[in-house]
Structure 1
Amino acid sequence: MKKEWSGEKITVSYIAMEDLGDICEMLAKESVCRWLFFGPNSYEVTEVYFTPLIESVMQGLSDCEIPESPVFTIRSKETGDFAGQCAILPVDFSPGAYLIGYQIDDGFQGLGFGTEACEFLVYYAFNCAGAYRLNGDAVYENSSSWKIMERCGFTFEGRRKKYWHARIGYYDQVLYGLLKDSLDEHYATYLNEKWSE
């Protein structure tokens, strides 16, 4: 079973316990958590959340199965440095539907790492995890995040006013979706050629 993938700028691998320190450090930063409904977090809070996820991924891999909640570590292809994380998390009561997520560490933002991570999630979800639908959301003011989804084929599906309260105010949530059977054929070929090698 394949456990690592390589793009133009990033490598992606299943999350492992040795990644936990880097994740804790990243999610303690205001610059990374600015538009998230959680964080910045203490190391203890991040450890409590991620340890069961890591254990679940490791158990799935030891059973030679796709993990139930695949979480991945993103590293710079050039340097090998930790650059962030991404995941597809199953939607309750909708087998084959997943929520995507990606966080890029502040030293790697604005370099295309988020777009490649989102591309990878689309490839992985539809080709490895058997997904039929992907859901994505973002704070409206975080245009970088929803523009990534648009570049990766997602369609705008709605906006919820004052959905999140974080730090200094209320923020609108924008909703995006991507169905496997509506994925552009040329884009699907591009993803398969890029990530399957």
Structure 2
Amino acid sequence: MKAIETRLPGVLLLEPKVFGDARGFFLESWNRQTFAELGLNLDFVQDNHSRSSKGVLRGLHYQLNEPQGKLVRVLSGSVFDVAVDLRKSSPHFGQWVGYELSADNQRMMWIPPGFGHGFQVLSDSADFLYKTTAYYAPQWDRGVRWDDPAIGVEWQLDGAPTLSAKDQVLPLLKDAEVYP
């Protein structure tokens, strides 16, 4: 497993070793020992799988008081995946990174607790899998607008994105509850 540091400390782009031949491929997406060797001693408690069609944008989501770390990957299709630092005390507060994750490039991203997360589907559809370090707690579910100019995510849009009703009314960063 190759870990690539991003400009946001703690957020990692991960490239697993892929063993392929004419039959297909094999890769190890999670191995506690391998991740520990990368300095990621993680205890995952939940796996989530979503399928979305082209143009769907989900996010930017996070969970207060019971923050989740997320290991994300794409099983089919491709997405533009984004992490935003939402820790008020961080020198990187409000900054973002984004990468294409796809079934073809097999990349994963580690998004530690304290960050917002979102993705935009680039392909006709995408199956998105994420492991979390804390259970979903709806009472702490929060979000920030995907198009907040204070954050300035450079989404790869071709027209208006398809948003959930919840994502359409998320607050701007200046009005959002964030981490200390």
TM > 0.5 between the two? Answer: no
Q: Which gives a bigger RCO, structure 1 or 2 (Cα 8 Å, sep 6+)?
A: 2
Q: TM-score, normalised by structure 2?
A: 0.31
Structure with higher helix content: 1
Q: TM-score, normalised by structure 1?
A: 0.29
Structure with higher strand content: 2
